[in-house]
């Protein structure tokens, strides 16, 4: 296996960007009107001059990976739900296309314009309205940064049931719109299970106020669930009420080295058996992932020797002595079974943070060395890494290309990444639709947690039956008959 340092040189990011319409030349602009000076004046009257941007818009046009870019000429940043409603009402009447945007940390081109759509940024909807310290419930607006929300509820002894590497810049509204999963699904479950209520603005400006602090509400259809994972194609989430778990008192972590992916799976099974209710994260990464964060970002592995695979296990509980004892016993059993040949337990919070940073910084490291083709899929656990190996074989003759695999074992979520020096249509043709065909054959999902966006929209059929896609289109037509909300995203546009 060739180390990353021998595969690629650092490539200037500006050379990586592809306009969405150029990446998909068959994609044509919809029959939307173009913005006029009268529209800008109308929007300025709604949100004020501070809520309008017409210059220096690269941040809003380009995705986090620097792989997809549109060319909007207008960004609108409302500061209230009423302003959001007024903006959408005018857009709907004028048939102006809109892209709702949160922290713009997505990986599938879902929060960026493809052509000249208006960007509706939620950056000014950033108030944490109320924290109930007794019930463990937080009410906040959609533009609150995840890290800020976590810090604030932490002051009351709670934690947000979601944690991502992008926590410092992603918005809670975007997390809901894409149904982000993150590192601790194994402990807290999917985010939708923690949502008590939300407020949403529909394309015609109607405000659906479904805010609630009740854990039990059996009064008919659970409408809020339609907007979780809808990627801004049905409306704009503006407020949310979340149920919060208690902050753990004891957090412990161990990093293990394994010789094969089968050994990784065995480590995971032993972890679940030994640690039970306190296990909070079970992550894996291959050797090229570790080499990437070592060489590109200078993050050193705490293990002296290199390994083909690395397994990271975290526990979160309320009793340090009890939790540490359980983790120590688990590690002993892992070594006795022979499924790990090396390992270390974190002796402090700083060491634990460093171990997790190795896993969290894989994406930034890979972004620095070339063009990234990212595939966030779910598969039966025994097949997760075989897909990486298949792709590695398919791209073996592509100059400068390499692939890595890492992800969340607790919810069978593989992050398959292929990196080339520059965007290559030839490389893409080797990967797609093969990846989606394999995932479909194995009864997996082509999007485990980041949504469909622009990049995956035309492959929806690999995870959804035609009748399901037809129903999704019907729902889209009900909520957004003019099709102005985040066009070209989630649903296939080449039918």
Q: What is the CA angle 351-352-354, rounded to 5?
A: 65
CB 93 within 8 A of CB 439: no
Q: What pLDDT score was predicted for residue 16? A: 55
Q: Mean per-residue pLDDT for 366-378?
A: 95
Asked, for residue 48, whether it belongs to a domain, the answer is no
Q: What pLDDT score was predicted for residue 206? A: 98
Q: What pLDDT score was predicted for residue 11? A: 43
Does residue 137 sit in the same domain as residue 239?
yes
CATH number, domain with residue 260: 3.30.70.2190
- Distance CA(63)–CA(20), nearest Å, equals 10
Does residue 255 sit in the same domain as residue 358?
yes
Q: Mean per-residue pLDDT for 337-341?
A: 96
Does residue 325 sit in the same domain as residue 348?
yes
User: Residue 376: which of 57, 65, 29 has the closest Cα?
Assistant: 65
Q: What pLDDT score was predicted for residue 25? A: 81
Identify the domain boundary among 327, 362, 397: 362
State how many domains the chain has: 3
The confidence band for 19, taking pLDDT boundaries of 50, 70 and 90, is: low
Q: Is the pLDDT of residue 384 over 70?
A: yes
- Give strand pairing partners of 314: 253, 281
Q: What pLDDT score was predicted for residue 182? A: 87
Regarding predicted confidence, which is higher, 9 or 271?
A: 271
Q: What pLDDT score was predicted for residue 24? A: 80
Does residue 145 sit in the same domain as residue 231?
yes
Does residue 235 sit in the same domain as residue 259?
no
Q: Is the pLDDT of residue 14 over 60?
A: no
The confidence band for 145, taking pLDDT boundaries of 50, 70 and 90, is: very high
Asked, for residue 480, whether it belongs to a domain, the answer is no
Regarding predicted confidence, which is higher, 66 or 169?
A: 169
- 83-92, 209-218, 358-367, 471-480: lowest mean pLDDT where? 209-218
The confidence band for 5, taking pLDDT boundaries of 50, 70 and 90, is: very low
Reported as a single tens digit per residue, the pLDDT across 61-99 is 999 988 889 999 999 999 999 999 999 999 999 999 999
Asked, for residue 63, whether it belongs to a domain, the answer is no
Q: What pLDDT score was predicted for residue 67? A: 87
Asked, for residue 431, whether it belongs to a domain, the answer is yes
Q: What pLDDT score was predicted for residue 494? A: 82
Question: Can you spell out the DSSP letters for 160-172?
Answer: -S---TTTTT-BH
Asked, for residue 1, whether it belongs to a domain, the answer is no
Does residue 287 sit in the same domain as residue 376?
no
Q: What pLDDT score was predicted for residue 136? A: 97
Residue 341 makes CB contacts below 8 A (sequence gap 6+) with: 257, 258, 259, 307
Question: Can you spell out the DSSP letters for 99-136?
Answer: EEESS---SSS-SS-SSSPEEEE-TT---EEEEETTTT
Question: Max CA-CA distance within the chain?
Answer: 73
Asked, for residue 461, whether it belongs to a domain, the answer is no
User: Residue 451: which of 178, 202, 192, 254 has the closest Cα?
Assistant: 178
Does residue 188 sit in the same domain as residue 143?
yes
Does residue 172 sit in the same domain as residue 215?
yes
Identify the domain boundary among 318, 341, 362: 362
Q: What pLDDT score was predicted for residue 4? A: 42
Q: Mean per-residue pLDDT for 37-50?
A: 98
Does residue 356 sit in the same domain as residue 399?
no
Identify the domain boundary among 335, 362, 389: 362
Asked, for residue 118, whether it belongs to a domain, the answer is no
Asked, for residue 150, whether it belongs to a domain, the answer is yes
Q: Is the pLDDT of residue 8 over 90?
A: no
Q: What pLDDT score was predicted for residue 23? A: 72
Reported as a single tens digit per residue, the pLDDT across 21-35 is 667 888 999 999 999
CATH number, domain with residue 181: 3.30.465.10
Domain containing 390: what range? 370-452
Does residue 354 sit in the same domain as residue 386?
no
Q: What pLDDT score was predicted for residue 7? A: 44
Q: Is the pLDDT of residue 228 over 60?
A: yes
Does residue 346 sit in the same domain as residue 256?
yes
Does residue 238 sit in the same domain as residue 147?
yes
Strand intervals (E) in 1-159? 18-19, 52-53, 68-69, 75-76, 98-101, 118-121, 128-132, 137-141
Regarding predicted confidence, which is higher, 6 or 110?
A: 110
């Amino acid at each position: 296996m060739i180390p990353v340092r021998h595969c690629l040189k650092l490539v200037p990011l500006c050379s990586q960007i592809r306009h969405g319409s150029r990446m998909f030349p068959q994609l044509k602009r919809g029959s939307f009107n173009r913005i006029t000076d009268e529209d800008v004046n109308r929007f300025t009257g709604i949100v004020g001059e501070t809520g309008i941007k017409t210059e220096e818009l690269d941040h809003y046009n380009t995705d986090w990976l620097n792989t997809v870019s549109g060319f909007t000429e207008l960004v609108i940043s409302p500061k209230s739900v009423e302003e959001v409603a007024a903006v959408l009402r005018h857009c709907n009447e004028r048939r102006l296309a809109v892209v709702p945007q949160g922290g713009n940390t997505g990986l599938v081109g879902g929060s960026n314009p493809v052509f000249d759509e208006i960007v509706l940024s939620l950056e000014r909807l950033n108030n944490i309205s109320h924290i109930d310290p007794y019930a463990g419930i937080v009410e906040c607006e959609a533009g609150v940064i995840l890290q800020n929300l976590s810090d604030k509820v932490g002051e009351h002894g709670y934690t947000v049931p979601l944690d991502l590497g992008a926590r410092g810049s992603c918005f809670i509204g975007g997390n809901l719109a894409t149904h982000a999963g993150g590192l601790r699904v194994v402990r807290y479950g999917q985010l939708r299970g923690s949502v008590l209520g939300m407020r949403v603005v529909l394309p015609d400006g109607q405000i659906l106020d479904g805010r609630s602090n009740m854990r039990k509400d059996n009064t008919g259809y659970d409408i809020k669930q339609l907007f979780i994972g809808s990627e801004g194609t049905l409306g704009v989430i503006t407020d949310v009420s979340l149920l919060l778990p208690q902050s753990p008192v004891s957090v412990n972590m161990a990093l293990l080295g394994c010789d094969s992916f089968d050994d990784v799976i065995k480590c995971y099974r032993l972890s679940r058996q030994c640690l039970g209710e306190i296990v909070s994260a079970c992550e894996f990464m291959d050797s090229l992932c570790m080499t990437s964060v070592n060489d590109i970002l200078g993050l050193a592995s705490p293990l002296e020797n290199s390994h083909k695979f690395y397994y990271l296990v975290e526990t979160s509980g309320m009793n340090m002595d009890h939790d540490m004892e359980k983790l120590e016993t688990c590690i002993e059993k892992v070594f006795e079974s022979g499924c790990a040949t090396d390992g270390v337990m974190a002796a402090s919070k700083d060491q634990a943070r460093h171990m997790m940073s190795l896993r969290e910084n894989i994406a930034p490291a890979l972004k620095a060395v070339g063009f990234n083709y990212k595939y966030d899929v779910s598969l039966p656990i025994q097949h997760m890494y075989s897909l990486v190996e298949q792709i590695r074989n398919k791209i073996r003759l592509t100059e400068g290309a390499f692939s890595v695999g890492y992800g969340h074992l607790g919810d069978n979520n593989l992050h398959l990444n292929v990196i080339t020096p520059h965007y290559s249509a030839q490389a893409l043709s080797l990967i797609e639709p093969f990846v989606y065909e394999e995932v479909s054959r194995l009864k997996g999902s082509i999007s485990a947690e980041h949504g469909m966006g622009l990049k995956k929209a035309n492959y929806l059929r690999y995870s959804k039956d035609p009748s399901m896609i037809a129903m999704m289109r019907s729902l889209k037509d009900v909520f957004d008959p003019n099709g102005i909300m985040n066009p070209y995203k989630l649903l296939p546009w080449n039918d």
